[in-house]
Amino acid sequence: MLIHHPPFIIHHFSEISSTSDCLKEMVDAPEYTCVVADQQTAGRGRRAHQWYSAPGDGLYLSILLRPKSLARISLLSLTAAIAVAETLIDRGVAGIDIKWPNDVLVNQRKVAGILAEGMSTAPAAIRLVMGIGVNLNHRSFPDSLVGIATSLAIETGEKIAVDRYRDELLDRVCHWYRSWESGASIIDRWEELSSYACGKKIIALLDDQRIEGETAGLTATGALRVKTTSGDLKTIFSGEVLSLRNDPRKS
């Protein structure tokens, strides 16, 4: 089924292996093409983690962007996290936080994840697929996710209209993508929404080391600065960040 929500063209499927993989195969698709599914059989998140895609309970969405430049492109996944967080805030959901770089939390549990995958680095043919998964109507999770994941239905007690939430989110994604194109500061808004921006005690698990310390803001490219327990300042470009204390964001 084809749905128009300007400037987006949305291809809707009842079941698909992965919305991002499907979108990658649409080689001639214009910018703002989306793929959304009621269920994914092989959805994935960051660091090759599987994304739990219960049938009909979540928003499983991928968006094609065609940036005109690679400059600041690393900030695009942050814009998606901002868009998700603001959509939740606009709905009156409390306890919103963003865990670096782009996991959106409600009351310290993950409600949304984002995976940005580049398809080309040629300046004339940059294609970036932004995969976004949001837990909306889940009432339970597999044992491996209990205590880690949550949903809007669990947090609010209300059933969420998936299509309506999708359109609200796409509006915010469009706003922040165009802000990014215009050179607006993405870092400032991300830091306003995230308790992980500065002063958060964390452990960063990298491929070859473990870093413990306190967050000290983001670089201009969105990397995380960490002041280690030994006093060194480290820059984290990728990895898993874990909070060392229960520190819900006050709002």
Say which residue the tokens 């870092």 belong to. 187
User: pLDDT by residue (tens digit) across 73-96?
Assistant: 999 999 999 999 999 999 999 999
For range 208-227, the mean pLDDT: 93
Tell me the per-residue pLDDT of 90-138, one tens digit each, with 9 for 90 and over: 999 999 999 999 999 999 999 999 999 987 656 568 899 999 999 999 8
pTM for the whole structure: 0.90
Cα 229 from Cα 250, distance rounded (Å): 25
In the chain, the domains with their CATH numbers are 2-192 (3.30.930.10), 195-243 (2.30.30.100)
For residue 206, the model assigns a pLDDT of: 86
Report the pLDDT averaged over residues 204-221: 91
**Dist CA 191 CA 246 (whole Å):** 19
For all residues of the chain together, what is the average pLDDT?
89
The pLDDT assigned to 184 comes to 92
- Compute the distance between CA of residue 246 and CA of residue 244 in angstroms, rounded to an integer: 7
Phi, psi of 17 (to 5 degrees): -70, -50
**pLDDT one-digit tens code per residue, 140-180:** 888 888 888 999 999 999 999 999 999 999 999 999 999 99
Residue 224's Cβ-count burial label (10 Å; 0-12, 13-18, 19+) is buried
pLDDT of residue 52: 66
Write a three-state SS string for 96-148: EEEECCCEEEECCEEEEEEEEEECCCCCCCCCEEEEEEEECCCCCCCHHHCCC
pLDDT at 45 over 80: no
